[in-house]
Amino acid sequence: MNDSSSRRQFLKTSAFGAALLSLSDHRVRAAVAEKDASATPARQPYMKLSLAAYSFNRYLPNSWRGKPKPDAMMSLEDFIDFCAEQQIEGTELTGYYFPAEITADYLNHLKNKTFRLGLDISGTAIGNDFCVPDEKKLAFELERAKTWIDHAADMGAPVIRVFAGRVASGDTEEAAIERCADTMNKALEYAATRGVALALENHGGITATPKQMFSIIDKVKPSPWFGVNFDSGNFQTDDPYRDLEKIAPLAINAQIKVSVRPNGKHQPADMERVVGILTKAGYRGYLVLEYEEKEAPRTEIPKHLTRLKELIHG
């Protein structure tokens, strides 16, 4: 079973293989995804809708970098109300829009508010960088990630979107990947104790291509608390859809955008095709709309959510 082709055939034809693929042994699943995108999915797909708070980035306060917007037009509570009005199942409470000082009372308040509105907190996200070569700065990034793992657990958010980062000036990609994987392993060890999954996003830098992502994934210790955040709008390769197919079988969280950027050129996304990629991969979980267009989100988002409801619910 060490031969890759024999292993792929075994995974396709045995019940054990199907069960294995349904878990998060990312090395096996990455190999299947990268080398045999036609592999039969091991589970029936099922998707629910959520909306990322980043969709209202221009209106929400952003305290992540310590410079909140003084003219913010919305609060996180307003965003939650908007999600409830859309008759969707979830809301992603992106970490950027929380107050600089986060208390247990505030987290409980959000947890209670979403519960009473019939919403799941589908996840959260942090703007981490696990590539930084400075040891003190990297230690800060890790500790902040652990703090957000605690916040996610306290709110009942099952997953955090995490980034890898970019190669710093004077560094090499190989060193950055090693540093990222090592820090991810440390964060993941803590996440497992809190029951929170970490989803590595394809977000440029050292995750700009599937090959780069797999080079990180292969260095992360196998864990049921680790997977990929599939972002349909982030690959800027010559064929983003092809590359999305490669990472889809590893997805534990999925974001959909209304645009794609082949070779960096902005164009409308084939949302039906994106949903089809996730369906083929047997994805079960939240499909999170992240709206980034210039048109007003309050008027445009409901149209896209209606379309997505048609695609995933029929």
Give the CATH number of the domain where residue 56 resides. 3.20.20.150
Residues 231 and 283 in one domain: yes
The 10s digit of each residue's pLDDT in 132-144 is: 999 999 999 999 9
Tell whether 121 and 188 lie within a shared domain: yes
In a shared domain, residues 10 and 116: no
User: Tokens 């916040």 belong to which residue?
Assistant: 151
> How high is the pLDDT of residue 314?
78
User: 32 and 99: one domain?
Assistant: no
Could you give phi then psi for residue 22, rounded to 5 degrees?
Answer: -75, -15
**Distinct helix (H) and strand (E) counts, the chain:** 11, 10
pLDDT at 36 over 50: no
Does residue 173 sit in the same domain as residue 254?
yes
Instruction: For residues 123 and 107, state if they share a domain.
Output: yes
Q: Judge if 39 and 49 occupy the same domain.
A: no
* Residue 111 vs residue 61, higher pLDDT: 111
For 292-307, write each residue's pLDDT tens digit.
Answer: 999 999 999 999 999 9
Of 26, 43, 60, at which residue does a domain stop?
A: 43
Q: What is the pLDDT of residues 172-223, one digit of tens each?
A: 999 999 999 999 999 999 999 999 999 999 999 999 999 999 999 999 999 9
Do residues 36 and 128 share a domain? Answer: no
pLDDT band at 8 (very low <50, low <70, confident <90, very high): very low
Rounded Cα distance between 256 and 231, Å, is 6
- The CA distance from 51 to 90, in Å, is 7
Q: Does 31 share its domain with 86?
A: no
Query: Residue 14 belongs to what domain range?
Result: 1-43
In the chain, how many domains are there?
2
Predicted pLDDT at 20: 36
Q: Do 64 and 99 lie in a common domain?
A: yes
Same-domain status, 61 and 131: yes
Residues 162 and 208 grouped into a single domain: yes
pLDDT tens by residue, 218-247: 999 999 999 999 999 999 999 999 999 999
- Residue 269, number of CB atoms within 10 A of its CB: 18
pLDDT by residue (tens digit) across 73-108? 899 999 999 999 999 999 999 999 999 899 999 999
Decide: 277 and 254 in contact? Cβ < 8 Å: no
